[in-house]
Amino acid sequence: MKNIEMTDITKSYDKQKNVLNEINLTIGEGEFFVLVGPSGSGKSTLLRMIAGLEDITDGIMKIDDRVVNHLPPKDRDLSMVFQNYALYPHMSVEQNILFGLQAKKVGKEEQRRRLIETTDMMGLGDYLKRKPRELSGGQRQRVALARAVVSQAPVCLMDEPLSNLDAKLRASMRVEIRRLQKRLGLTMVYVTHDQVEAMTMGDRIMVLHDGSIQQVGNPIELYNEPANLFVASFIGSPKMNIGKAVLNRAEGRLIVEDELNINASESLMSDIPNDASITVGIRAEHLTYATKEDATHFMEAVNVENLGNETTIAFELNNEIWTVKWPGQWEIEVGEMVPVKISCEDLAIFDTGSGRLIRAAKRVSKGAVPV
């Protein structure tokens, strides 16, 4: 079992622009660590540096308290699942899975034992003699996973392993990978650009943007207290509704996008520095529906998506589109003025210039706790 420690890790391909900037990070042993960020943010690069496939331009990388900056991949005792599976096209499933073991000189009997164990776990028993091209995407995926698992390396790296699967298979693979990791106690570094995967699988998540760490924390932390506007809009689906706001201290009102006039509480006003220009964010579930009588605001619906168990409604607010997600089926016409309730306690306040969080939303939507 191993931990991974990075100190001021920097990477530049062309010696001019940094693809990764001074990454400081410790991944604990047995942890499921998710790296998430938009395309081109440097996730794969970081993963490949952990694997030893990419030079480290600057900084120190330690695995198990040993500096590994110049250690070749094979001596790092890890396994990796590549984004495109990287299966050997001319080898059967069985050969593919055992490929690494042969190179590591594991005994024949031990190979058999692990093969059977792994393929049972992955449900690949029937396909052992097939070539990769005779498998479906999901089956190939499982072969790639099996190849990583069979090596029994304590550190496992995965680069967007589910990106090519359909929604249903993806959901079940998420559970399978997660279970496997817990059972084997692997230290897992998992790259994805899908925030649902990040939220559901990770013990901790790191959000990467333009090669810099935006925030590291457990999923709920990131959701409730996003460190900045980028994290706020990246984590959560639908994304957090964002709007520029002006605080009128004299009247105790917060005016959002020149349209919404929200009652500001004392504590909110005291949290906001005097001359700050601010942006507010509100989660879709905090824009709650109201009857005409207790509504605080009316907003114009511009799009309604009825999904059966819930309804997504988009409102126009100046130039921003805000979305809400309400349980159940709602009969709302496009163009209708819909009564909603907004409370200043649900607003997250950000500094417009730096994007940094000034004050997190005070209420979180807790599920009912059974007694």
Partner 1 sequence: MTMPLGQKITFYVLLIVSALLIFAPTLMAFVMSFMSNKDILTGSMPTSLTLDNYRQAFSTFPLMQYLINSVVVSVLIMLGQLVLSSLAAYAFVFLEFKGRDILFYIFIATMMVPFEASVIPNFHIIRDLGWIDSYAGLTVPFFAMAFGTFLLRQNFKTIPKELREASLIAGMGDFKFYLTVVMPVAKTSLVTLGVYGFLTSWNMYLWPLLATTNDNVRTVQIGLKQMQTQEQLNQWGVIMAGAVIVIIPTLLLLFLGQKKLQKGLTEGALK
Ligand X SMILES: Nc1ncnc2c1ncn2[C@@H]1O[C@H](COP(=O)(O)OP(=O)(O)OP(=O)(O)O)[C@@H](O)[C@H]1O
The answer to whether 71 contacts partner 1 (rule: CB under 8 A) is no
Given 2, 43, 114, 142, the residue binding ligand X (CB under 6 A) = 43
Q: Which does 13 bind (CB under 5 to 8 A by kind): ligand X, partner 1, Mg ion, none?
A: ligand X
| Pair 349, 270: CB distance under 8 Å | no
Q: Which does 317 bind (CB under 5 to 8 A by kind): partner 1, ligand X, Mg ion, none?
A: none
The answer to whether 193 contacts ligand X (rule: CB under 6 A) is yes
Nearer to partner 1, 99 or 330 (CB): 99
Nearer to partner 1, 50 or 317 (CB): 50
The answer to whether 217 contacts ligand X (rule: CB under 6 A) is no
Nearer to ligand X, 48 or 147 (CB): 48
CA atoms of 156 and 283, how far apart (whole Å): 34
Structure tokens at 285: 């579930």
Given 4, 6, 9, 19, the residue binding ligand X (CB under 6 A) = 19
What values do phi and psi take at 112, rounded to 5? Answer: -50, -50
What spatial distance separates the first Cα and last Cα of the chain, rounded to whole Å?
38
Given 51, 121, 189, 199, the residue binding partner 1 (CB under 8 A) = 51
Given 151, 181, 228, 279, the residue binding partner 1 (CB under 8 A) = 151
Stretch that binds partner 1, among 76-84, 220-228, 278-286, 319-327 (CB under 8 A): 76-84
Given 18, 45, 118, 151, the residue binding ligand X (CB under 6 A) = 45
Q: Which does 151 bind (CB under 5 to 8 A by kind): partner 1, Mg ion, ligand X, none?
A: partner 1
The answer to whether 16 contacts ligand X (rule: CB under 6 A) is no
Given 44, 118, 119, 214, the residue binding Mg ion (CB under 5 A) = 44
Stretch that binds ligand X, among 37-45, 55-63, 105-113, 360-368 (CB under 6 A): 37-45
